[in-house]
Amino acid sequence: MGFKVYCSFGNGYRLTKDPTYKAVIITAAKTLSSRFNPTVGAIRSWDHNKQKWAYPVIIDNMLNLELLFEATKLTGDTSFYHIADQHAKTTMKNHFRKDYSSFHVVDYDSTTGRVIKKTTHQGYSDASAWARGQAWGLYGYTMCYRETGNKTYLAQAELIARFILNNPHLPKDLIPYWDFDAPGIPNEPRDVSAAAVIASGLLELSTYSKKGHYYRKIAIKILTRLTNHYRSAAGRHHGFILLHSTGSKPSHSEVDVPLNYADYYYVEALQRLDNLYLHKSVL
């Protein structure tokens, strides 16, 4: 709901203040809230594969929370805020390993809230660090700090950034392989979408962190590399901007292709960099 509605109608409302867009955002937030289980303390992600998971929660779900935070601002109803905040806390407790890498899917018992198992769906293995999942965590906890002011979320974002940027399997050009633990590195597909999300997340994180200059420097390197080496030629690839993303390699789906969310976060990162340059003179 967050990806589909907030990235489209959310930006539409931000730019136009069209009340029709506002109504869609609020309705979508109510729909998303209906998937929250207070016993689990998290929003259910998927309904498919019920033979595999009882109550699956994916790290991607962190990006849905911005929709809920916005709904509280638009309506004054704090229930949306509290659901988002609780989901972030539950995810922080159960999704992350000691090195601050993240599982993709955590399955819960919906009646007791107990964690049943920690797995992956789009990563290499249950014990691996799926690249885009790490990016969602970095971006998500940075956003949660912006919305709540909870310094625990800021610290979490910085620790996730440390895992990503210090990982020995991160290529020199900073464009990650689809999984940090993929067995065929360096002969594995890259995931440009993960790089775009990381760049955008780092740019926002740079405005809150004492390591802001470092994060901006890394983000600029990523964006420069994407622009110079991973961008489609004009008029090619049906209007996509970036090439070489990986949707789900285990499912043999969308491997080494352009993806719309890679383009979205690339453009967002460029806009964030432009805003920093124009308004804060940080470069």
User: Tens digit of pLDDT for each residue in 142-183?
Assistant: 999 999 999 999 999 999 999 999 999 999 999 999 999 999
**Does residue 283 carry a pLDDT above 50?**
no
Q: State pTM to two decimals.
A: 0.96
Model confidence band, residue 281 (pLDDT cutoffs 50, 70, 90): very low
Q: Which domains does the chain have, with CATH numbers?
A: 1-119 (no CATH), 130-283 (1.50.10.10)
- The pLDDT assigned to 211 comes to 97
DSSP string covering 116-161: EEEE-SSSSSTTS-BHHHHHHHHHHHHHHHHHH--HHHHHHHHHHH
Alpha-carbon gap, residue 249 to 177, rounded angstroms: 11
Residue 192 and residue 262 in contact, taking contact as beta carbons nearer than 8 Å: yes
Alpha-carbon gap, residue 283 to 280, rounded angstroms: 8
**Does residue 226 carry a pLDDT above 50?**
yes
Model confidence band, residue 43 (pLDDT cutoffs 50, 70, 90): very high
- The pLDDT assigned to 279 comes to 64
Alpha-carbon gap, residue 6 to 220, rounded angstroms: 26
- The pLDDT assigned to 278 comes to 75
Q: Omega into 186 within 30° of 0, i.e. cis?
A: yes
- The pair of three-digit structure tokens given for residue 35, joined into one six-digit string: 């998937």
Q: For a pLDDT cut of 90, what percent of the chain falls above it? A: 94
- The pLDDT assigned to 200 comes to 98
Alpha-carbon gap, residue 88 to 153, rounded angstroms: 8
Place of tokens 């760049």: 199
- The pLDDT assigned to 277 comes to 83
From the CB of residue 239, how many other CB atoms can be counted at a distance below 10 Å? 11
User: Tens digit of pLDDT for each residue in 115-131?
Assistant: 999 999 999 999 999 99
Residue 200 and residue 274 in contact, taking contact as beta carbons nearer than 8 Å: no
- The pair of three-digit structure tokens given for residue 259, joined into one six-digit string: 């993806």
Side chain identity at residue 161, one-letter code: A
